[in-house]
Structure 1
């Protein structure tokens, strides 16, 4: 482990995060829920969406930009479909509660679809479909985010990284978890490279002049991420279309702010001059497998699918083929033993939060 990192036990980090949220007026059970969503990222190696984001939630709650005690409201409902107003609450709380509603509808109707407006950043998208997998359902989640991605052939930020995640249960093999941004890379990975003083691959970003760059600071200083695929040769139009679909399902459908009007997830970012809705938006879905085929048969087939993919002949000199979710499971097994690696820059932020909230840092 490089000297720039400090290992912190996962339970100690959870407790610290929970107590920080409680100190900011979040109810005890919801503070623990929000901490669980962030801990999922840190414990599974998704360092861009875990404790590294606590400072932003802290700043926004402290400034009154996020409601610590939201009262969720059903705006519209028809059988298995509903739109929920998140009352400007923490996405880390609004998200799980709305996924629970989708799961409840799935128990009743065979599927459940929930669009959410007036909410905020909800952490790692992969957390939510795993809630459905615990019920032996297929799960899906997506969200729009602060503008940071240029549309295909464009050079200015108009869309968010707009992630999408799905999870599928299996029988004896671990579940399949698909979780990815619709941009070539998540913004958090550019931040990590910047903290490490590293360059990034060409094809990830543009600078403020719309030119390709491999320097993370040039993207952060007025540049833009590229959609998945980046260029015409890489079929960047597909990433743009995927980002558009997420934006429409999460925000246009729910009545949230879409595209460049999405509210920023940063205390020092100015709000867009125009609001076309409320907050940002999420979309959740769950499906009861029994409505399609026998559950056990499906899970056996999933095991077969997983084993078959893993047994693919690897490229010469390459690593073995994995299935979605394998890298995160490997990180989880390591971090449960070794602790969560926290970069010194993030640790300094946690020290500031600790002093402000009078919550001891582990």
Structure 2
């Protein structure tokens, strides 16, 4: 009887340096490689393996094919202090959205609230990272992303809208920040692939065949269904308007007219609590709210009462101390790229 190969534990700093070295050899500048690696390792630490170091080979492929621009000339356009548009020039998402988050924070400190739209980027990565970056500066962060249609829309046949995510981060003092990071799909595409590989059925109402017929058979499933039916598909469409259409780079309409060139757009918003009152009182009240939630009676059979981002923050602390587990298949892929690019594997 065969056993499942054990995952490889790699210290976070070593994994970050290794991923950055691979990405730099893949064509990114040293700074952009470090920025992109930061996003991947942040996701891996928090258990979001689909957006962790498993993304490194995919990004190397995007760079090799020229889908992602290794040397982007990003520009910022603005006609008002509280808003700007960052044209990414097809930079990898971590590069473009990290710059956009920092720009939103800078402007929000001056204007109280600021938004930065991101136009023409390539795969944004875990958007929880960017709103968390805003929250680290004591501001509230909100993020929306629109991408290529790969999910059903209630009442339509086939893939119609994207599994567009939403993320919100709220800083606290004693507690880890609240971090809500969710897609508009019931399950991720990666979950469908995983179910297919394992031969396990999918949850009812989670996925559909190519024509949009719901199925639990992973062999027939090709796309996820929207979270909450019309609610999830409506949110995805709204995010397309708030991101792509707002910055003059529509994806939805051109896609359905035959334009399948990969791209994504985003909108990041930073809100300074000081613009609404005492910022110290704000974080104190956030702590009080979270403490009150944690003190509610635990329902029968539940492990406890948790707020969004609490358990992933605890896991990140554990993985910082003990190392980040990397699946054998991913480690093998990273090793192949390391050999090809002349990068040493972490010991």
TM-score category of the 2 structures, normalised to the smaller one: over 0.9
- Trace 1:1-362 onto structure 2 (pairs within 5 A): 2-219=4-221, 223-229=222-228, 236-259=229-252, 261=254, 273-274=258-259, 279-362=263-346
SS at match of 1:304: helix
CA contact (8 A) 2:149 2:160 kept: yes
Cα deviations by residue, 1:26-50 (Å, 9 ceiling, x for unpaired) = 1111111110011110011011111
Give the direction of change, closer, same or farther, for the CA distance of 1:278–1:361 in structure 2 (3 Å limit). closer
Provide TM-score, normalisation by structure 2: 0.93
SS at match of 1:147: coil
Task: Give the Cα–Cα distance (whole angstroms) in 2 for the partners of residues 273 and 56 of structure 1.
Answer: 24
Task: Give the Cα–Cα distance (whole angstroms) in 1 for the partners of residues 211 and 253 of structure 2.
Answer: 18
Cα deviations by residue, 1:241-298 (Å, 9 ceiling, x for unpaired) = 2111212112111122423756xxxxxxxx98327x9932011000110111211111
Cα deviations by residue, 1:158-215 (Å, 9 ceiling, x for unpaired) = 1111001011111212211111001112223333444544332122100224322223
Provide TM-score, normalisation by structure 1: 0.89
More deviation in 187-196 or 153-162?
187-196
CA drift at 1:78: 1.8
CA-based RMSD of the aligned residues comes to 2.1
More deviation in 115-124 or 350-359?
350-359
SS at match of 2:239: helix
Query: Which runs of no fewer than 5 residues in structure 2 stay unpaired?
Result: none
CA drift at 1:323: 0.4
Task: Give the Cα–Cα distance (whole angstroms) in 1 for the partners of residues 205 and 10 of structure 2.
Answer: 34
